[in-house]
Structure 1
Amino acid sequence: MNAAEEATTRGDIGRLPSSVALRTLTSGVLAGFEPMPDRRLRRAAEFSGTGASRRAVEPVRLLCDEAMRRFRDQPPTASDAWLAPRLHYALRITRAEAADSGLWNFLALCAAPDFVRWRWGRPQDGERRVVGQVARYCGPWHSQCFSRLWWAAELFRDGKDYKPVEVACRNQDVLNTVLRQEMALHRPAAQAIVRVATTGRQVNGLAKLAYAASATMIYEVLAPDEPQDADALQDWIDAIEEASPAPDDRLPVGPDDGRVDEASTAALVEWFERLAEVAPVRGRRLLEEGAESPRPQGVSLDKPGLRL
């Protein structure tokens, strides 16, 4: 038995190259007419025995099963707020590891393709569900089924506190618009937009106003942020073997690598609110029409501003 077969037998997470994933995602597979070729994909997967490949599939698989059970009578979007913090807690990976699309391809095509179909598929002809976008299986970090949830948890958590993640992921405007923008990479801005989202403001329009204003205002100057504690994060990652499974009915505890400065968050909350008030015409138009405007294409994770 070779290393790949041993890893598959153990139930390790591997990485599936995007070239393999994209060849597999035919129109028949996306439409639900053809099954996902699980065995062939696992043979094509790579298992390095380090990093994310040391992780087991089972915790992620159990979370997906529980999400589908728990939210079976609700719109699948309702599962995002529950799953995002628990996926982040269960995987315990670094940002550098999370930037590898092969990990997310493996989870979507090899570990839980049925969850992708449940979350993103449209019912058609009885039990068949059609997934309209290849990107939900293999795509940009802000669109792929699992990576978008992990990154939402990573960017919106407040140190070990996952409560802001729940708030962010209950609002699809935050996930679909704010997550793609540069300001989500600045922790005080991410916390501020979550707080503003709870006030009922139209998030799409507000995010566009904030993005436009950021051309003349630097978030780091108005709301400085302290670097996260890399050692504390690594200790949390290394403790995965002794960690309890992610609880179903309460939030798990994330890495204690530093809370966001409250003064910085408050400064940006005030600025966001004032921004909408002092630009009533442009602000009202954007706040009312933001949901209908084209979505931003998303920011790259390969940049100095995002500490991997």
Structure 2
Amino acid sequence: MSPTAVDFPDVLGLLSDAAVTKHLSRSIQSGQEIPPRAALSRAAVMLPENETRWSVGPVRALVDEAMKRFEDSRARADAWLAPRLHATLRMTRAEAADSRLWNYLAMLVAPDYVVWRHGTSGLTRAARFSGSHFLQAFARLWWAAELFRDGADYQPVTSAFAYQDVVNSVMRLDVIDHRPTAAAIIRIVERLASEQVKNASDQINALSRAVNTAGSTLIFDVLAPDEPADNDALRDWIADSEHVPEVPWDRLPDGPADGTVARDSVDALVSLFEVLLAEAPRRDRSKKANDDSAEVSTTAH
């Protein structure tokens, strides 16, 4: 399936999980066929044409550029694409929580990207087309950018993709919505990368389990208070999508200036999490061979 084979629409829409299930065949998952546009379009609900943020063109341009830039190392596309996708698709978390948007992107806008990025074993998992926010091909990128950015600064997002386990494991945690928690985990990931720690992926998974366990008994927002995000700034950033140029390709874009994470809170949790990591048992995953472990070629290496 090539980019030119995809006759994509002009505006994004919403496509139900049931519609994806009905039309997602093994031939589509393997890239031998493209999804049936006419049938899927009839099942979709279109978003407002008069809102620039829902235009397909800029998203499609990003996808094409990612596939061109990272053909030889496809997992590296995540760190480049995530912040730019987030800055292009400007929306609230409530809007992004609607899986129908990501279904539409995967089936009608860029099914070729889904197969290109995640079809490492010959057959792309159905969850990459329609699945949880930490699995679906586009949702995982947007939510990683949303959860790990520090206000307008997307640099921590690129660090999040130093190891695929940050997205595959850490993004599953209920406590990851707490911004100091997310920032503290990224701080530790950056240390592991800078020190070139062996079996860092095992350490990240151990940390994820330890933080999840601790979160059931400790109240992180008491140990590390976080100021509420500036919703007015977020709304202004979304409204600006009507007249801002497309995101830059060779430098990070600017996210919403809705407030940075309190450094004292992050420092407090880094100290705690380092102790948890030191005490956490490790699982040897060196012999594990699946889609996710095949994707551990990363920006840090």
The TM-score bracket by the shorter chain reads 0.7 to 0.9
Work out the percentage of aligned pairs sharing the same amino acid. Answer: 47
Cα offset, 1:73, TM superposition: 1.5
Structure-2 residue corresponding to 1:40: 39
Cα offset, 1:199, TM superposition: 1.8
Give me the whole-angstrom Cα distance separating, in 1, the residues matched to 2:285 and 2:226: 28
Cα offset, 1:52, TM superposition: 7.8
Question: Does residue 87 of structure 1 match 2:76?
Answer: no
Structure-2 residue corresponding to 1:189: 181
Cα offset, 1:292, TM superposition: 8.2
Q: Give the AA of the match of 2:19.
A: V
Structure-1 residue corresponding to 2:108: 110
Gaps of 5+ in 1: 1-7, 124-128, 294-308
Mark the CA change 1:226 to 1:292 in structure 2 (over 3 Å): closer, same or farther.
Answer: farther
CA deviations over 1:121-172 (Å, ceiling 9, x no partner) = 136xxxxx521x1110011121100001101000000000000001002220
Structure-2 residue corresponding to 1:302: none
Give me the whole-angstrom Cα distance separating, in 2, the residues matched to 1:51 and 1:138: 27
Higher relative contact order structure (alpha carbons within 8 Å, sequence separation ≥ 6) = 2
Structure 1 segments of 4 or more deviating over 4 A? 50-54, 290-293
CA contact (8 A) 1:142 1:148 kept: yes
Structure-2 residue corresponding to 1:248: 249
SS at match of 1:255: coil
Structure-2 residue corresponding to 1:58: 57
Which range moves more in the overlay, 164-173 or 107-116? 164-173
TM-score normalised according to structure 1 size? 0.83
SS at match of 2:77: helix
Structure-1 residue corresponding to 2:134: 142
Q: CA RMSD in A?
A: 2.2
Q: Give the AA of the match of 2:224.
A: A
Which range moves more in the overlay, 106-115 or 28-37? 28-37
Gaps of 5+ in 2: 1-6, 193-199, 289-301
Question: Does residue 31 of structure 1 match 2:45?
Answer: no
Give me the whole-angstrom Cα distance separating, in 2, the residues matched to 1:291 and 1:213: 26
CA deviations over 1:96-137 (Å, ceiling 9, x no partner) = 1101111001100000000001000136xxxxx521x11100
Structure-2 residue corresponding to 1:180: 172
Mark the CA change 1:118 to 1:274 in structure 2 (over 3 Å): closer, same or farther.
Answer: same
CA deviations over 1:234-272 (Å, ceiling 9, x no partner) = 000000021121111110000000000000001101111
Give me the whole-angstrom Cα distance separating, in 1, the residues matched to 2:72 and 2:8: 34
